[in-house]
Amino acid sequence: MSKKEKPSATVPAVKANAGATQLFLNRELSQLAFNRRVLAQAEDPRIPLLERLRYLCIVSSNLDEFFEVRVASLLAQSRIDGDLHEPPVLEQASIECHRLIDDQYGILNRHVLPELAAAGIHLLRHQERNDAQRAWVKDFFEREVRPLLTPIGLDPAHPFPQVVNKSLNFIVELSGKDAFGRGTAIAILKAPRVLPRVIRLPDALSDNQGVELCLLSSVIHAHVADLFAGREVLAYSQFRVTRNSDLWVDEEEVKNLRQALQSELQSRQFGVAVRLEVAVNCPPHLSQFLLDQFSINRNRLYAVDGPVNMVRLSELIEHADQPALRFPVFTPKFPPQLAGGDQFAVLRKSDVLLHHPFQSFQPVVDFVRNAANDPNVLAIKQTIYRTGMNSDLMESLITAAQRGKEVTVVVELMARFDEEANINWADRLERVGAQVVYGVVGMKTHAKLALVIRREEGQLRYYAHLGTGNYHPTTTKLYTDFGMLTANVALAMEANEIFMHLTSLTKPKKLQHLWLAPFTLQKEFIRAIRNEAAIARAGRPARIIAKMNALLDESVIRALYAAGADGVKIDLIVRGACALRPGVPGLSENITVRSIVGRFLEHSRIFYFRNDLAHDVYLSSADWMNRNLFRRIEVAFPILDKALKKRIMSEGLMPYLKDNQNAWQLDGQGAYHRKRPTARQAAFSAQQFLMTRFGSAPAPDEPSAQATTGE
């Protein structure tokens, strides 16, 4: 990245696809613009150094998924349409990806690694290691690495091997003849996936203070010639292939979705190749050889100045024991009203709003655990989208089933990249007698619902948890989300109706409070937007504030354009991709869009409609995307308590509209501009404000307090 491209600089414009209407910005280019904002964090000197490295790894992980899903999908659609040329948007996306990745490695090599070395964390190349370290590396190679390697010399009996998605590999060009007198010139070498990618060198061998490390790729590079006795290595390069990783099953044909997915997971590693990464010094004829092998267009070749698998540099962070180079520890606060008491008794008096990660997720875990152990609880029902490989909450559901309670779990097997974990949980739950269903064929169940039915004084009482985020023990510490524990009869009974709908597949009853996709959610959002427009046309104040991960649905965007034209003031907080063009004369003068990239991943979905001072507030699992509104099971739920409405406004919306530290403003051409305090403004970070508000945070004026994290 050039010197003039400081963190406060304008992020390059994301131009609309020339073939698309000028009403909308392009989804893929907007998604890449989000990664440009994340990358700016890696260059920000206010952020602790190891966290800046983590940002670089996050960008790589995001780009992996971008190619695995978005690029792969566009290419697949192009083939279905019979178009031999790549879609124009892919050409534009390729240009931006190359710029983004070049800047990413530039930041790594010119800033992050030198500054880490100055701080005593050295990532050594072969030529930088001393004699003792080279001897140790050679011994390590012989003991730990070489036995696991299987070089493949290519000939008719040794065809090009299967290359696993995103694995580290080497292509080697050899001179001379092989043991059988043949001139096999190319060999392929796979790096063992079981070995760490970052290796710590013994401290006793170091010439410097601090930690000295090397990459597995560097170890193999240093000794690749040892694998080909009697041959000269003319050239070699590491390489990595990214493949289409979207799973597909014919849901109308399969009889058991879980069994079909288990089979499909095996093929994910060998989907259609969509990107090739090689080292920057890879000879052109070798990179072309690989492109031909994988049938990849040359514009999806990335020659990188560093490790091709930058995601794995996150292992370096774990080797560095320097707290000053990390974010200060933040401990979520436990809600005082739930401390030490009967949770069900508390909920009978009032709803409890939880704001993660500023408040602990433990009350939700306790909610299910208490229900599992309570003899008065008869049934527990829950949706699971992402929960991870280890989960106390899931263990509690298993315990509840073992104790004879009616346990119903709607497990979404098609949650991308969590399919295997969810299959394992579904299997364990079924083995103990829980009723497990996989949602609705053709639609992902993305709603976040948990329901407990308890017998009290001879009657059944309903308790529910409704949320915006997943029941995942790790992400609840890293993502901002809201959840509500409630004993409100109307809300809880409607949640039960949704569970009945998901298990029986019958048409859901008309719900008075909850908005349910794909039936009413989009209609209700449009109705609420149009209601604000009608209020504005009548000459009364009208306001919409909405916070979400992505805004892409054209029907919602058109409704927002119309409402803004009628005089509704609209403020949107959209973390990632946004297709709406704000601030365009004659189209969207009354609409602003901003994105917050902070220490925590902004994940809450909040929708506020002024509605003549009724102040309607809804929380939801859904973004304003076509897939969420029409192809998923999603829920939006109202906040009925006035005090809780004020909390959501004061914690989830207003601070983000005030933020001038981690906020980026979107203009009508698709460019994002970083917000900065003016001469009359004090510096303000929404996330830091909330960390301080809930305690366990450093003082606001500390530089590290402005540090941020993205995904």
How does pLDDT run across 208-221, given as a tens digit for each residue?
Answer: 889 999 999 999 99
Catalytic residue, from 446, 465, 472, 603: name it.
446
Q: Rounded CA gap, 247 and 415, in Å? A: 10
pTM over 0.75: yes
Please list, in sequence order, all residues whose beta carbon lies within 8 angstroms of the beta carbon of residue 289, skipping any fewer than 6 positions away: 171, 186
Question: Is the Cα torsion angle 499, 502, 506, 511 positive or negative in sign?
Answer: positive
Closest CA to 249 of 273, 265, 235, 234: 265
What average pLDDT is seen over the chain? 91
Mark out the alpha helices in 141-256 (DSSP H runs).
216-223
Q: What is the pLDDT of residue 79?
A: 78
Amino acid occupying residue 535: I
Task: Determine the 3-state secondary structure of 483 from DSSP.
Answer: strand
Q: Rounded CA gap, 516 and 231, in Å? A: 66
Q: Is position 98 annotated as part of the catalytic site? A: no
Q: Rounded CA gap, 150 and 183, in Å? A: 19
Domains of the chain: 49-325 (3.30.1840.10), 336-510 (3.30.870.10), 516-706 (3.30.870.10)
Beta strands in 195-351 (DSSP E): 198-200, 211-215, 233-243, 273-279, 301-304
Measured between alpha carbons, how far is residue 255 from residues 153, 186, 206, 505 in Å? 43, 45, 60, 16
Question: Residue 3 — very low, low, confident or very high, per pLDDT cuts 50/70/90?
Answer: very low
Tokens representing 164? Answer: 């696993």
Q: What is the pLDDT of residue 675?
A: 96
Strand partners, 388: none
Amino acid occupying residue 105: Y
Query: According to the 3-state scheme, what is the secondary structure of 214-240?
Result: EEHHHHHHHHHHHHCCCCCEEEEEEEE
Task: Determine the 3-state secondary structure of 64 from DSSP.
Answer: helix
Task: Determine the 3-state secondary structure of 534 from DSSP.
Answer: helix
End-to-end CA distance of the chain: 20
Q: What is the pLDDT of residue 388?
A: 87
Q: What is the pLDDT of residue 257?
A: 61
Question: Residue 76 — very low, low, confident or very high, per pLDDT cuts 50/70/90?
Answer: confident
Model confidence over 177-206: pLDDT tens digits? 776 667 668 999 999 999 999 999 999 999
Q: What is the pLDDT of residue 17?
A: 40
Q: Rounded CA gap, 181 and 695, in Å? A: 73
CA atoms lying within 13 Å on the CB side of residue 682: 6
Distance of CA 607 to the CA centre of its chain: 22
Closest CA to 224 of 161, 138, 130: 138
Indicate the range of 70-79, 97-106, 503-512, 697-706 predicted with least confidence: 697-706
Question: Residue 230 — very low, low, confident or very high, per pLDDT cuts 50/70/90?
Answer: confident
Q: Rounded CA gap, 268 and 629, in Å? A: 27
Q: What is the pLDDT of residue 258?
A: 58
Tokens representing 68? Answer: 């695995």
Question: Residue 348 — very low, low, confident or very high, per pLDDT cuts 50/70/90?
Answer: very high
Q: Rounded CA gap, 297 and 472, in Å? A: 38
CB atoms within 10 A of CB 230: 9
Please list, in sequence order, all residues whose beta carbon lies within 8 angstroms of the beta carbon of residue 128, skipping any fewer than 6 positions away: 122
Q: Rounded CA gap, 149 and 130, in Å? A: 26
